Amino acid sequence: MNVLVLGSGGREHALTWAISRSERCGELFVAPGNGGTAAIATNVPVNTEDAEAIIGFARDHAIDLVVVGPEAPLVAGVADELRKAGLLVFGPDAQGARLEGSKSFSKEFMLAHDLPTARYKKCTSQDEAMAYLHEVGAPIVVKADGLAAGKGVVVAETMEDAEEAVRDCFAGDFGEAGSTVVIEEMLEGPECSMLAFLAGGKALCMPCAQDHKRAYDGDRGPNTGGMGVYSPVPCVTPELEEQMRSIMEAAAAATAKDFDEPYRGVLYGGFMLTAEGPKLLEFNARFGDPETQVLMPRLASDALDVFEAVARGSLEGVELSWRSECAVSVVLASEGYPGKYEKGKVILGIEEAEALDDVIVFHAGTAFNADDELVTNGGRVLNVVALADTFEEARERAYEACDKINFEGKQYRRDIAMRAIEG
């Protein structure tokens, strides 16, 4: 099969890497791709939200399957247009993508189908939001309703923080995404994500993963798109995992009832493991980033077979098998991330890092300069992934690999996966 992957981040490099390992993989393209995807596929300068351009490219290159990586094209309805043109697409249509594109829509969906989640209120003005804040008090969670690249959520410990978060949203910090705000109770417990392949109202769940959202060690600093991740998650007991699986399966069945078109893609469930059991924090309508970077290396099944089955709308006969090893991924970021940062810093040492056993380096924000040197091209630059029989070994190997990679201003957390070891 000839395959086109849409996106340019670490998630898309991991998906491209997994697809490239299939014996059935023919020509492989990534639009627009990055410095890492260029080594295993052909990068093409096609806008991920330009459905007409994607359709034209797919027809010119006999593309058999399009895999949509990021959320923005899904929310914009790109998958809808591609399907209308007769293309086979992995990724939900715009209606299904609203589970991520609108937090209020997602919360209403959860409540309508008795999926456990936090109490909340949707506010469409700053005055309404402030009044509700003073009614319920802090700690509280303030969320921009729309897409905000993983940064539109503030866990406010004080009223001052909560009020500032509300003001930031309505001041336009997140554009149209902040014109509506969701304020919800703060749940307590460890966070965890479970992703599932959805098709025909059925769900095939993946192993759990645990992200590290904050910028600095000890979960300090601002929220980011994710600074590291590991899988499996030792604090998730078999009983908890089964409860989460049941919730994801119920959500999949609900999509078949509520949506005009079948949901065909990945549904990401962000959970808080509370004393009352797992509760949903959010849904995402695509693979997580950086969760994908530990899930794809653990996937023992043929990724292309699975993606094609989902795109065709049936999980009948599909079985997933997973490697037993622990996987740890550390994000190497540009100095200043998630704030302002510079691009164009030359990157060295990736080959030496990947020479270590069971180490894979997925590129997130990289490109080539005029001298054909690999350089930084984003806030999150690389995902350094290591697999091993224990978390101690996987962490040691991942950080050994991180030390071999260098670029000016390299920053990263040094406590990724310590939770898995300390319990």
Question: Pairing between strand 202-205 and 120-123?
Answer: unpaired
Cα–Cα distance between 238 and 253 in angstroms, integer? 22
Element (H, E) at 361: strand 359-363
Instruction: List every span in the chain annotated with CATH 3.90.600.10.
Output: 326-422
Q: Residue 402's closest CA among 332, 342, 327?
A: 332
Q: What is the DSSP annotation of 114-143?
A: T--B--EEEESSHHHHHHHHHHH-SSEEEE
pLDDT, tens digit, 9 for 90 and up, residues 335-366: 999 999 999 999 999 999 999 999 999 999 99
* Per-residue pLDDT, 151: 66
pLDDT in tens, 186-235: 999 999 999 999 999 999 999 999 999 999 999 999 889 999 999 999 99
Q: How far out from the chain centre does Cα 15 lie? A: 12
* Pairing assessment for the beta strands 89-90 and 140-144 based on DSSP bridges: unpaired
Q: Homologous superfamily of 191-312 in CATH?
A: ATP-grasp fold, B domain (3.30.470.20)
Spatial CA neighbour of 354 closest among 12, 5, 7, 13: 13
Name the maximum alpha-carbon separation found in the chain.
59
As its CATH architecture, domain 125-179 has 2-Layer Sandwich (3.30)
pLDDT in the model for residue 210: 97
- Neighbouring C-alpha atoms within 13 Å toward the C-beta of 66: 32
Residues in the chain: 423
Return the residue matching tokens 């949903």.
Answer: 280
Which CATH fold topology does 3-93 show?
Answer: Rossmann fold (3.40.50)
- Per DSSP, helices labelled H in 137-275 are 159-170, 238-258
Q: What is d(CA 33, CA 24) in angstroms, rounded to the nearest whole number? A: 21
| Residue 152 and residue 177 in contact, taking contact as beta carbons nearer than 8 Å | yes
Residue 244 confidence (pLDDT): 98
pLDDT the model gives residue 150: 63
Scanning the structure block, which residue is given the tokens 């399009």? Answer: 66
Question: How far is the C-alpha of 44 from the C-alpha of 56, rounded, in Å?
Answer: 13
| Distance separating alpha carbons of residues 51 and 53, to the nearest angstrom | 5
* 3-state DSSP of 188-201: CCCEEEEEEEEECC
| Tokens of residue 324, six digits | 């037993």
Burial class (CB in 10 A: 0-12, 13-18, 19+), 324: exposed
- Is the omega angle on the peptide bond into residue 232 within 30 degrees of 0, that is, cis? yes
* Residue 45: both structure tokens together: 């300068």
pLDDT for position 148: 75
Residues of the chain with CATH 3.30.1490.20: 125-179
Task: Please report where in the chains the tokens 């209120």 appear, as a residue.
Answer: 121
pTM equals 0.94
Superfamily the domain 326-422 falls into: Phosphoribosylglycinamide synthetase, C-terminal domain (3.90.600.10)
Give the list of residues 6+ apart from residue 101 with CB closer than 8 angstroms, or none.
71, 74, 75, 94, 146, 147, 285
β-pairing, 65-68 vs 3-7, is parallel
pLDDT in tens, the chain (423 residues): 999 999 999 999 999 999 999 999 999 999 999 999 999 999 999 999 999 999 999 999 999 999 999 999 999 999 999 999 999 999 999 999 999 999 999 999 999 999 999 999 999 999 999 999 999 999 999 999 888 766 688 889 999 999 999 998 998 878 777 789 999 999 999 999 999 999 999 999 999 999 999 999 999 998 899 999 999 999 999 999 999 999 999 999 999 999 999 999 999 999 999 999 999 999 999 999 999 999 999 999 999 999 999 999 999 999 999 999 999 999 999 999 999 999 999 999 999 999 999 999 999 999 999 999 999 999 999 999 999 999 999 999 999 999 999 999 999 999 999 999 997
